[in-house]
Structure formats: structure tokens, C-alpha cells
Structure 1
Amino acid sequence: MVARGRFITFEGGEGAGKSTQITRLAARLSSLGLNVRTTREPGGSPGAEIVRHVVLSGAASALGADTEAMLFAAARVDHVDSVIRPAIEAGEWVLCDRFTDSTRVYQGASGVSPALIGALERLALQDLAIDLTIIVDVPAEIGLARAAARRGDGVTDRFEGDSLEIQQRRRRGFLEIAAAEPDRCVVVDGTLDVDGVEAAIWAAVEGRFAETGALAQRPV
């Protein structure tokens, strides 16, 4: 039988540096002989990528926050069913840039009720469980400055353009989730240099999985 893979999600505000760290963790896990898949939300599957374009372009914002949340949920159903669940069942380690916590924080900050968010989450995940969530935490001011530098002359997406107050509220939301679910979530200081953040993330991964043997070196 193929051993079940693992599911690690990365969360944080704009400009937290999640994408860089996912790439680094994927390389480190791959060096151990593990099969690793990286993905993202919104998106990650052909159907979900269509929804990603609609949402991040701002085209759906006129429909209201509840409808936007439903669009995210529809994308997640396709992503989970066609990519995430099959990969984990095949023994792969799946690293996802944003997942359910981003919906709780971003749509929750937009006024979507926790009841609706919870119902949509249960619909999309069914029995899927997250093994570890890494929350890369940076002050909102720093994150926005990083996002602007990364974007350059590009167009601000649907969420980067929100006010500093909203970005600060989102940061608090992620930290509140981490405090409420310490068995799943680990907060990493995203203001460290890139190598320092990587080291903190690896310490969290080792702490979670080393004793189970899941990180044992495999032939490559």
C-alpha cells in the first residue's frame, strides 16, 4: 500500500513571502526523496484557475461578499477533488499557497457570516484534513510595501488594493486562528531574512513529522 501523503498549507497577508518559502520547502522535501506537489488558491486546477481570474480581477466584487465566497468554494471543490485529494492518496506531499484560512480571514473581514463560511468549507473538504498550517506573519505595512515592490508597474489585484486598516484586520484574523488551533497552526516571523524564515519553517515541519518517520530519507 502507498503511504498517505501530507497536506501543508501556507497562509498570511499580502507580501508575506509565502510563495518563496513554498518553493524552498518543496526543494528540501524533494531532496529527501519525497514526491512533492505545489499548488495555490484561488486556482490550482483548470476550473479553479478560471474562478481565480474572475475574482482577482475584481469582476465578482459587484456581486457581493457572499457570492464571492461561494465562487471561492466552487473553485475549492474542483481543486480538492481533481488535484489535492488524489495527490495525497497517491502518497504526495501537497504544499498549498492559501487555503481555507484565507477564506475565513478575507471573506470574514468582508462581512460573510462564519456560518456560511463554515458550511462552504465543509462542502469543499468533506473528510480532507490539513496536517500543518504555516502562517507567515508580517506587519501589514511591510507586506503592502513588499507587494508593491514585487508588482512594480503591474495592476493591483482585488485584495492588494484594500486599505491598510483592512490588511491589519486580516493579520489579526490569521493570528486569532493560530491561537485557536495551535495543534494545526504554526506562526513564523516573516520579517526575518529569507533564510531565517526557511529555517523556522523547517523546524516546524521537523517538529510535526520527524517522529512519525514521514521525513525519513528515501532513495532518490
Structure 2
Amino acid sequence: MSSQNAIRRKLVIVGDGACGKTSLLCSFALGEFPKEYMSPAIFENYVAEIRLDGKPVQLALWDTAGQEEYERLRPMSYSKSHVILIAYAIDTPDSLDNVTVKWIEEVRSICGPTIPVILVGCKSDLRPPEGSPNAGQFVTRAEAERVAHAIGARAYKECSALKIEGVDDVFEAATRASMLMREGVPAHVPSAGRGHERRGSRSGNRDWEGNKCCVIC
């Protein structure tokens, strides 16, 4: 894939701490679930080379920390972004509540009303079958879809980074949504599938061993 002719897009993922953001990025970018906990500071910004409808796309993946101590630094990550993933954990209903009371407000205040947003339910493998005694402790798809509609998300996707299920669907939807933005978000910081393979590189233009190329039709 020629990098000179590729369309360049930037994806930023936000959400509560420990909701599964970094694991999702690792499962997509590296093709495997991280064996140990990785903080967003450890996950290097990664560029996935994707072919979407026959067109080459370089999708930069930007992780963020959801904890309060990072709130003054996180806004810098939004600069020049084309699509935002707002993630929550299916086994933590409070993380879905924070999508509406915190995350969509932050995204809209910094990125504006037009940037595409995808709502992502992480850890779908933890949801028990319907009728299970503890099913009420988990977010249902219907509940999440209502939130996605309320925040104006372009799509709602669920995935398991552990089992690598639904992961490619998340990034296909995100890549397609990113095409709606001709220009990335201005650099402004507030004062306060189908058959597919992946190839990518970590920041610093270093090749990752075993790289593959993702083809989305």
C-alpha cells in the first residue's frame, strides 16, 4: 500500500478508566489481547493501514486516559481528529452513564457538533445470557442503543477485545465515519468483514513485526 496516496485519518478513543479502551486498540492493532495490563501511556500511537472500498487509508489510533488526573492533558489528543470512539464497559453501568454526563459533553465542547462519534460497548464476553440471576447488573444492548441515539452517535457497536469479536466491525464503522470529515478538528485546547488483514506501524515509523494489511469491502 502506497503511503503517499493513502487517505490519512485520526481516531481518538475516550471513556472511563479501565473500561477497555487500550485493550480494544491492542486487539485491533496487534491482533491479540494484551497479556498484561497496559496503561494508555504505554500504548504508543499506532497507524493502521487499511483498504476501504479499494482506497488506502492510514488510520492513526490515539489512546487516552479516562482518570480525572489526566483531564488537563487529554484535550490535546483531540487535535486534528476525524472520528471519536466513546467507550464504556458492559459490566459497569456507571461507565455508560458517564457517556452522557461527561464524555459526549467533552467531545462536543472541544471537537464541535459535526465530528462523527461511535459508541462502543467493551467486554461483551462478560454479559451473561438473558434470564441469568445477575443479568440486571450488566448493560443491555437496548439500553446502550438508546444512549447512542441520545448522543447522536453514528453507530453503536459491541465487542470483546479478549476474544477479538466485533473488533474489526468497530474500526470499519469508525473508518467509514471518518470520511465524513474533510478536515480534522482544529488544534484548540481549552484552558481548563469480511476477509481482512492488518498492517501498521508504531509511532516513530518503526515497523511492527508480523504486520498485516486490513481490507474492508
**TM-score of the superposed pair, with normalisation by structure 2:** 0.41
More helix by share: 1
More strand by share: 2
Instruction: Report 1 or 2 for greater relative contact order, CA contacts < 8 Å, sequence distance ≥ 6.
Output: 1
**TM-score of the superposed pair, with normalisation by structure 1:** 0.40
